[in-house]
Amino acid sequence: MGHGVLQTDGYGAGVKLGVAILTMGTRPKELAELLASVRAQTAPAVRTVVVANGCAMPDLPPWVETVQLAENLGVTGGRNAALEYLGDMDLVLDLDDDGLLVSDDVFATITTLYEADPQLGIVGFRIADETGVTQRRHVPRLRAGDPMRAGLVTGFLGGAHVLSTRMLEEVGHWPDAFFFAHEETDMAWRAIDSGWRVRYEPRLLLQHPRTSPARHAFFYQVNARNRVYLARRHLPAVLVPVYLGMWVALTLARTRSLAGLRAWFGGFAEGWRTECGPRRPMRWGTVFTLARLGRPPVI
């Protein structure tokens, strides 16, 4: 349901912001608190949609629109359903259903950022736990010591980010085959290869409980499988063995769980034998751009 239109010269008469929240129905209290923080924004969204990903739709306020999926399509499938539903928006903000917008000027800041840069494709939020701490893995650059340093980056966090629909029309939606894990890298590489910019903006804060993505064996499997998918889909042929060899070495050095290693190498093999979508290697100019931004596509 519409609450207003955010005005900006960069998008003509006005930029329309839609909010998409994917849920598995397991966090009703957190979802209600998140929706309250969405509703409290000083510059309101035009539409807010909750996608029930293969679960019963929770009780929601009347101003929230809904999409019911009969089965769990993963993060990528669920977000694609939201993008189809919000196709008339100029910007789509994805939020985790257990996150919280602490400030009430988040949407206004988003509008200002896109107004200032017509080639801004993706904006990533800062993620911090309830004590205000941002984990190093949540800072989308190799030099992750300062989570308050904004700027252009090569990736973004899935928990809270904004996508330009003009960009999506050019580069495509989320890669369905990924289900979850590294889908953000896939999107960011496609965006940068097409001349769009990806920005990390720590002023945009999502409060989110501290968790470990490696708490399930399934994580190791899809992590490895999707690394292979990334290489097959996007890397110049000469970089494929470099990228994957680097991640094999890092995984062997970091993983202490034998079950985790078995799952990881099982996923690695799965990545070669299953369909991952079309191969469109990035330009060498994009490789150099990623390197200049601090994260060459070999790590």
Judge whether 22 and 94 are in contact, CB under 8 Å.
yes
Which tokens sit at 39?
């509703």
Please provide the distance, in angstroms rounded to a whole number, between the alpha carbons at the two ends of the chain: 42
Question: What does the pLDDT read at residue 197?
Answer: 98
pLDDT digits (tens, 9 = 90+) for 158-214: 999 999 999 999 999 999 999 999 999 999 999 999 999 999 999 999 998 876 655
Answer whether residue 157 shows pLDDT above 70. Answer: yes
Judge whether 124 and 161 are in contact, CB under 8 Å.
yes
Provide the pairing of β-strand 100-101 with 65-69. Answer: unpaired
Positive/negative CA dihedral, 55, 212, 291, 148 = positive
Please state, in angstroms and as integers, the Cα–Cα distance from residue 215 to each residue in 59, 129, 153, 227, following that order: 29, 18, 27, 19
Burial class (CB in 10 A: 0-12, 13-18, 19+), 144: middle
Q: How confident is the model at residue 9 (pLDDT cuts 50, 70, 90)?
A: very low
pLDDT digits (tens, 9 = 90+) for 48-106: 999 999 999 999 999 999 999 999 999 999 999 999 999 999 999 999 999 999 999 99
Sequence-separated (6 or more) residues with CB below 8 Å from residue 253:
none
Q: pLDDT exceeding 90 applies to what percent of the chain?
A: 80
**pTM of this structure:** 0.91
Q: How confident is the model at residue 7 (pLDDT cuts 50, 70, 90)?
A: very low
Which tokens sit at 258?
């034998």
Tell how far CA 251 is from the center of its chain.
Answer: 23
Domain segments of the chain as ranges: 9-207, 216-292
243-261 mean pLDDT: 92
- Other C-beta atoms lying within 10 Å of the C-beta of residue 166: 16
Question: What does the pLDDT read at residue 96?
Answer: 95
Positive/negative CA dihedral, 105, 83, 208, 113 = negative
Judge whether 68 and 57 are in contact, CB under 8 Å.
yes
What is d(CA 228, CA 181) in angstroms, rounded to the nearest whole number? Answer: 12
Architecture of domain 9-207: Alpha-Beta Complex (3.90)
Considering the chain, what is the average pLDDT of its residues?
Answer: 91
